[in-house]
Every structure is written in C-alpha cells, then in structure tokens.
Amino acid sequence: MSGPPALELRGVRACYGRIEVLHGVDLTVPVGGVLALLGPNGAGKTTTLKVACGRMRPTAGEVRLGDAPVPTRSPDGLARKGVCIIPEGRGVFPNLSVTENLRMWTYRGSVARSEVEERAFGRFPRLRDRRGQLAGTLSGGEQQMLAISRALTTNPTFLLLDEISMGLAPIVVSELYEVVAQLAAEGIAIVIVEQFVRTALGVADRAAIMAQGRIQLEGDPREVGDAVVDIYLRKASTS
Ligand SMILES: Nc1ncnc2c1ncn2[C@@H]1O[C@H](COP(=O)(O)OP(=O)(O)O)[C@@H](O)[C@H]1O
Ligand SMILES: [Mg+2]
C-alpha cells in the first residue's frame, strides 16, 4: 500500500469506569485501503472503533489524522474530518421510513436530499422499492444497506464497519461486501470488524488481530489468516 498513514491510533488506552480494556493499541488505517480488524469477542474491537471515530475518549495515547493529532476533547472533530462509524447492531431509526431515515442525515447540509436518495437507491435498488416502509420492518440485510447508505450521505473519508454481517444470510453478506469493495475502490478507507474471518480477509489489504485489548499481529491478510486460528485458540485456552 502507498501513501502516508491516514488514520492512526498510537498507544491508545481506554477504560470503562476503572477497568482498562485497551492496553496500548497501535493501528494504522492507510488512505484508500481496507483494514480487517479481527479477534474473539471481548477483544476490544468495538472499543477501538469508538475511540477511532471520537465517540470514546482514550485515557492515554492519541488518534491522528495525517500528520496531526486530533484533540480528543472535541468529539465532533473526527466526524467533521470524515470519520464515520456504522455501529454494531445497525444504526437505523426503526420507526421512520427508509426515506425519512435518509433525510435525518441531510440536515448537515453537505448533500441535497434528492442526491442522497439517488445515491442510496442507485447502490441498493431494493431500498427504492421499500422507500415508504418503516426501517424496523426491513430485513436485517436491508437495514444494513440503509445504515451504509446513510453513512454515505456524510461523504466519509474513513468508514468504520462494526460486524455488519451479524445475523445475516451468507448471500446477503456477499451482497454487502460487494458494496464494501466498491466503496474501497472509490477511495474510501475502510475498517471492517467481522466475525466472518474469510469474508473480511477476502476484501482486506491489511489485517490485524486483536486479543485482550492489544493488537497481537498485523500484516498481509494471508499471513494473518494463517495465524488467526492459533490466536483465537490461545485466547480460548487462557480465559
Ligand atoms: N459499555 C461497556 N461497559 C463496560 N464494559 C464494557 C462496555 N463495552 C465493552 N466492555 C468490555 O470491554 C471489553 C472489550 O469489549 P469490546 O470492545 O466490545 O470487544 P469486541 O468488540 O472485540 O467484542 C470487554 O471485556 C467488554 O466486556
Ligand atoms: Mg464488538
């Protein structure tokens, strides 16, 4: 991969209450690349994404964009600079229709309503057919498509996807990942946290394995794929 480091975590520590769950995380998301962040449940993947998008403040270390550290006191800072997260469990408003969900995000004003719908329906024609349907009544895969469409209204430079395949049929997962690959080809840098290791490694340019609040290994997806089983098992045998 070429180009300068884009989004970087350096020595990040993070706590819930008094319990530290990230113990010094170093991670680089290169410009226009896809990074797969893998690891067993409870490893700290979601927490890492929360820090990376500014939703959670690290207790030590820093988040950097390009050459500059992002002040952790302005939670908006990272969002304004194009870091967007699709949180675990689908961030859609269940009692609003598809169109209303898309509109919720146009108030920021950077993209016109019609443009937002065009983009969403262009990428996911299925959503056009269901534009008036309440988001809560969509299938899991459709909700995820809506969540991704909504994220795209913010013109993100970095997109952080937290387990978008959770509970979905394999065919829907491949459909979603086709879009992920397209977005990456369009130059959006993407971090995917995923339980389906093979799916994630299939679209990734880099991969990292996290366990017990630390990055255990980072490298080429193939190399990381070979090690992943070992690291998961080691975690299982020590916990
Ligand atoms: N809101 C929370 N309050 C307290 N502890 C939490 C909270 N969220 C996560 N944790 C703990 O932090 C650790 C890392 O969790 P998480 O980042 O969600 O891991 P992963 O996404 O890899 O499954 C786990 O031990 C988890 O129990
Ligand atoms: Mg998680």
Q: What are the structure tokens assigned to 230, written together?
A: 């070992």
Residue 3 pLDDT greater than 60, yes or no: no
Q: Which helix (H) or strand (E) holds 174?
A: helix 170-185
Ligand 1 atom nearest residue 213's Cα: 14
Cα separation, 150 vs 185, whole angstroms: 19
pLDDT tens readout for residues 106-158: 666 667 888 889 989 999 999 999 999 999 999 999 999 999 998 888 888 99
Domain ranges (residues) in the chain: 5-82+156-238, 91-155
Whether the CB-CB separation of 123 and 179 falls below 8 Å is answered with yes
Q: Which ligand sits nearest to residue 48's alpha carbon?
A: 1
Smallest CA separation from ligand 1 atom 18, residue: 46
Whether the CB-CB separation of 189 and 204 falls below 8 Å is answered with no
pLDDT given for residue 198 in this prediction: 87
- Ligand 1 contacts CB of residue 41 (under 6 A): yes
pLDDT given for residue 107 in this prediction: 61
Confidence of residue 71 (pLDDT cuts 50, 70, 90): confident
The dihedral formed by the CA atoms of 151, 154, 159 and 163, expressed in degrees to the nearest 10: -20
Smallest CA separation from ligand 1 atom 2, residue: 16
For the question of whether the overall pTM of this predicted structure is more than 0.85, the answer is: yes
Ligand 1 atom nearest residue 41's Cα: 23
- Ligand 1 contacts CB of residue 47 (under 6 A): yes
Q: What are the structure tokens assigned to 75, written together?
A: 């939670």
**What are the CA-CA distances from residue 156 to residues 22, 61, 147, 152 (Å)?**
26, 24, 13, 6
Cα separation, 117 vs 149, whole angstroms: 9
Residue 232 pLDDT greater than 80, yes or no: no
- Ligand 1 contacts CB of residue 21 (under 6 A): yes
Confidence of residue 225 (pLDDT cuts 50, 70, 90): confident
Whether the CB-CB separation of 12 and 19 falls below 8 Å is answered with no
Residues 206-230 have a mean pLDDT of 91
Q: Which ligand sits nearest to residue 42's alpha carbon?
A: 1
Cα separation, 153 vs 150, whole angstroms: 5
Pocket perturbation via mutation, ligand 1, pick of 12, 22, 41, 47 by most ligand atoms within 8 A of CB:
47
- Ligand 1 contacts CB of residue 45 (under 6 A): yes
DSSP string of 89-125? Answer: T----TTSBHHHHHHHTGGG-SS-HHHHHHHHHHH-H
- Ligand 1 contacts CB of residue 107 (under 6 A): no
Contacts of 118-122 spanning 24+ positions with Cβ under 8 A: 119/149, 119/152, 119/153, 120/146, 120/149, 120/150, 120/152, 120/153
Surface-to-core class of residue 43, CB atoms within 10 Å of its CB (0-12 exposed, 13-18 middle, 19+ buried):
buried
CA-based R_g, the chain, Å: 18
Tell me the average pLDDT of the chain. 88
Distance 44 CA to ligand 1 centre (A): 6
Cα separation, 143 vs 135, whole angstroms: 6
Distance 20 CA to ligand 1 centre (A): 10
Confidence of residue 1 (pLDDT cuts 50, 70, 90): very low
CATH topology of domain 5-82+156-238: Rossmann fold (3.40.50)
**What are the CA-CA distances from residue 111 to residues 115, 186, 189 (Å)?**
7, 18, 20
Residues 72-87 have a mean pLDDT of 78
